[in-house]
Amino acid sequence: MKRLKQRGFSLIELLVAMAIGGFLIIGAVTLQSQTRKTFTVNEQSARLQETARYVISVIEPEIQIAGLFGFSNNPAGAHYPIGGVDKFASDMRIGKPSVSPPAVLDSCGVNYVLDVSQTLQADNGVWSMSCTALGGGKSPNTDVLMVRRSGLANVPASATKFQLFTSRLVSTNQQLFLGNTPPGPIDPGLTEVRDIVFQAYYISRNSDARTGLPALRLKQLGTDGTSPSWIDQEVIRGVEDIQVEFGVDPGEDKNFDGVPDDAAADGMADLVNADPKLYVAPDNAYAKSGQIVSVRFWVRVRAEEPEQGYKDSRTYSYAGINFTPNDQYRRVVMSRTVFLRNSRAFTKS
């Protein structure tokens, strides 16, 4: 029987095989690394967009129902009896003397809770409230959005909260009160008690968990279980900026004196049609005297961690802001235009 000779790879063949295998391994590792990097970038971008969408989903419905006061959207019908004297919306404007007890209502600014005429208000890059912004303070040049309304649910009267007695039959009988007894008989569907809601959304320098990571916070009037009190809580971290513009109907000038008609001299236009003729910054005079019909707001969200090998040199331009970070954090900007369901009610022209 003839024996077969066993023959292995030559040194040259082995070297060629090792070279080919090395190239294949390098290619596989490179592909895996690029795939992982792409996955990480996509995941981070998705997380940023998810955060921005969440912020919009929180703020949008609050804007939509701003100006709801029980069964009415007419702030002129809200009144607050103090010492046997009724104080109405025109008496409770910011800038006018305080009309409250309790003092807690003024602890974040005189008449800040009670100025029901301004169902929506915003600070343009500043902090006008007299109480402290938490999280290291408000982030510079970011806006503050404030919402005034009543709650949606019928609740029991309670001295632990500031509330509204509302009547479906009489739009001018929306009475603010504090106490365990409502100022009138409760007839479900016709008269009810609602909680008063004041909310201020702002950007803090730091989040609760990390210094240097900004966050969206909410300061609101609530209760500590025994009396009305202010609550300040983080909504979500990573939000770097919020900017606001109001779509307003400035009102008509029927007497041709160059300014919208204001026969009552209460600082509010008389003749409006719920038509947003222009979008203005929050500190524009029309935002305080005209009828706010819609709100346009922008949210800028920043990644929590810097990304190696990445530089964000893009210029973000929106709402009069031009921001070029030149750092290693990824960002996304989203905007939304929201129309109010309860535009401040005035006589139509």
Contact 54, 60 (CB under 8 A): no
Question: pLDDT per position in the chain (349 positions), as tens?
Answer: 555 555 666 777 777 778 887 777 887 777 666 766 665 666 778 899 999 999 999 999 999 999 999 999 888 889 999 888 999 988 999 989 998 888 999 999 999 999 998 899 999 999 999 999 999 999 999 999 999 999 999 999 999 999 999 999 887 789 999 999 999 999 988 999 999 999 999 999 999 999 999 999 999 999 999 999 999 999 999 999 999 999 988 888 787 787 887 777 777 777 887 788 899 999 998 888 888 999 999 999 999 999 888 899 999 999 999 999 999 999 999 999 999 988 765 555 5
Domain that holds residue 221: 41-339
Residue 221 forms part of a structural domain: yes
Token digits for 283? 């500190």
Residue 81 forms part of a structural domain: yes
- The torsion angle over the Cα atoms of residues 288, 60, 173 and 252, rounded to 10 degrees, is 40
pTM summary value: 0.86
**Dist CA 46 CA 50 (whole Å):** 6
Contact 127, 43 (CB under 8 A): no
* Alpha carbon distances (Å) from 295 to 6, 64, 116, 276, 341: 85, 9, 17, 10, 12
Residue 12 forms part of a structural domain: no
Contact 200, 129 (CB under 8 A): yes
Question: Within a 10 A sphere around the Cβ of 239, how many other Cβ atoms?
Answer: 28
Count how many domains the chain has.
Answer: 1
Residue 158 forms part of a structural domain: yes
| Strand stretches in 139-238, DSSP E | 144-150, 163-167, 174-177, 191-204, 215-223, 228-237
Residue 5 forms part of a structural domain: no
